Amino acid sequence: MAVDEVTRIIQELSAKADRVEYMEEALADMAAKLGDMSGWEQVGFNDEGLLTLDELKQMSKQLQDMVAQSPLMKRGAQLRYGYVFGQGMNILNLDGKPRVKKFVDLPAVRRSLLSTTGQESLNTTRFTDGNIFVLRSTKNDKVIRVPLKQVTGVVTDPDDAETIWYIKRSWTTFSGTTKKDNEKWYRVNGYEPAKEPTSITDNGGKSVPVDKAYIMHVHRANRLTGQTWGLPDGYAAMKWLLAYTEYLQNNSTLVAAYAKIAYKVSTNTKTGGQIVGAQVAQAGAGGIASMGLDANLTAVPATGSTVSFQNGRPLAAMVAAALGVSVVALLSDPGAAGSSYGSAQTLDTPTLKVMIGLQNNWKEFFEDILLAVQGGSETPIAIDFPSIDNDPVYRALASLQAGFQTGALFQSEYRAAFLKISDVDPIEAIDKLPKPTAFTPSSSTGGNQPKQPTATTAGGQPATNDSNAAKSGETDNSKRTDTLSTGDSK
């Protein structure tokens, strides 16, 4: 074997060894960032297994940064909001409840709770904080959303850490150049003490007043048994997001490194190699290499220098699983479904059930506030979300047509549903049915209508409807055995 060939083989093996070493170091660094798997469940919990308020705030700060900077975390929050609130929310049984009607029309209530921006903010707060705090005035029903960072204390049932009695809020107000620090305790909705205290002494021995003019409404998500605080929706995805981000960064580094070397120059002498190297380095894009007879310029082979970003998809799938959404939707990439357009467009049943469960969680939150405003024993206020399991438009229209043709739907019902699905604003009243025209001729107008199949009975006679049923607009399909003919046979 020639000396040049041996040298070439040694150089290739050395390059491959360097790449393996680089990947081993990258994987070791990634593993270090992931930390000890067995210790995951202890992150943020004290010796008694309870999630502390300070650790919850630290976790919230990290998640807020991730949602602001990470495309996947932002996309995950957007998907959950879209699935839950994307088609709006309905408040039922408002008739005869003037106080509740006035409450839902208050600008502050609509801005904080019932508008699209308010609900998007609530969804993000649950995603990053896991706990939502809303103060409501008992006098004028004014509402104030309290951020987690302002919650500085809690009083729970001595026998049950899950039951919160009071929440302490600490915040700063400004009046011109004057700064004022405030601290107050608020009773949590649902707790009815025999005698409400005027103040509560905190752990530092400081007596803080109880503000009886407000009630605190608390929504806690993903709460474990015995826990006082809820867990953020994005908590389970944090470490897998770091792993996926690290994987993409490592692959990007490799791509940048490989892009720096496009050609290899081989010469018989060391001096010749130095000269050729200088000549090539001076060349720009589309330049020409000038070499002697003993030099050889070859492109670096793609084998061994390729990078596959797709191999990191299992890490992205773990992020999607933690957020309860499809990896196809999370990555905005139909290729994650094996290039299947149908799979990319379909909301699978497990994900659908997860989102329905989230809607039920939000129902409890809104109903907790509205029922407290309503009071009394009349028909309770209820929250309802439109169905999120909607067929594509063409399928829904086909189902409507089948229902109308089989007599299951009246024409007015068919028209109303058709207009809604097609997103068409009716010019006439819904119950005013269109009359046949030159564009939509009927058999009675004698228009140029294509000959339609006619239904006949088993004896060959035309099928007829019951006269009473015909008068009422319904079709009697009982006792019919129909065959179809085009009417063209002779």
Secondary structure letter of residue 44 according to DSSP: T
Is 126 domain-assigned? Answer: no
Q: Which residue shows structure tokens 């299992």? A: 314
Between CA 188 and CA 167 the distance in angstroms is 7
Number of folded domains in the chain? Answer: 2
Q: Is 429 helix (H, G, I), strand (E, B) or coil?
A: coil
Residues 164 and 228: beta-carbon distance below 8 Å: yes
pLDDT at residue 432, as a whole number: 75
Backbone angles phi, psi at 176, to 5 degrees: 65, -120
Packing angle, helices 53-69 and 71-85, rounded to 10: 100
pLDDT at residue 159, as a whole number: 93
Residue at 35: amino acid letter: G
β-strand partners of 484: 455
Between CA 233 and CA 236 the distance in angstroms is 7
pLDDT at residue 332, as a whole number: 81
**Last residue within a domain, chosen from 220, 248, 266:** 220
Is 270 domain-assigned? Answer: no
Bridge pairing between strands 207-220 and 199-201? antiparallel
pLDDT at residue 42, as a whole number: 45
Q: Is 204 helix (H, G, I), strand (E, B) or coil?
A: coil
Is 149 domain-assigned? Answer: yes
Is 165 domain-assigned? Answer: yes
pLDDT at residue 373, as a whole number: 92
Between CA 150 and CA 141 the distance in angstroms is 21
**Last residue within a domain, chosen from 172, 201, 220:** 220
Residues 324 and 318: beta-carbon distance below 8 Å: no
Is 116 domain-assigned? Answer: no
Residues 134 and 145: beta-carbon distance below 8 Å: yes
Whether the pTM exceeds 0.85: the reply is no
**Last residue within a domain, chosen from 220, 241, 256:** 220
Close Cβ partners of 426 (under 8 Å, ≥ 6 residues apart): 419
Per DSSP (E only), the strands in 150-293 are 151-157, 160-175, 178-188, 199-201, 207-220, 263-266
pLDDT at residue 387, as a whole number: 83
Give the closest residue to 269 by CA, choosing from 16, 7, 1. 7
CA 409, 415, 421 angle in degrees (round to 5)?
105
Between CA 250 and CA 31 the distance in angstroms is 13
Is 427 domain-assigned? Answer: yes
Is 403 domain-assigned? Answer: yes
Structural domain of 410: 391-438
pLDDT at residue 451, as a whole number: 45
pLDDT at residue 404, as a whole number: 87
pLDDT tens for the chain, 490 residues long, are 566 666 676 677 667 666 666 666 665 665 555 554 444 444 555 555 678 899 999 999 999 999 999 999 999 999 999 999 998 999 999 888 899 999 999 999 999 999 999 999 999 999 999 999 999 999 999 999 999 999 999 999 999 999 999 999 999 998 888 899 999 999 999 999 999 999 998 887 889 999 999 999 999 999 888 899 999 999 999 999 999 999 888 888 888 777 776 666 666 666 666 666 555 555 555 555 555 666 666 666 665 556 778 888 889 999 999 999 988 889 887 665 554 555 555 557 788 888 999 999 999 999 999 999 988 767 889 999 988 876 677 778 888 889 888 988 888 888 888 888 887 888 777 777 777 666 655 544 444 444 444 545 555 555 554 444 444 445 555 555 555 555 554 4
Is 407 domain-assigned? Answer: yes
Between CA 133 and CA 147 the distance in angstroms is 7
H or E stretch including 25? helix 3-34
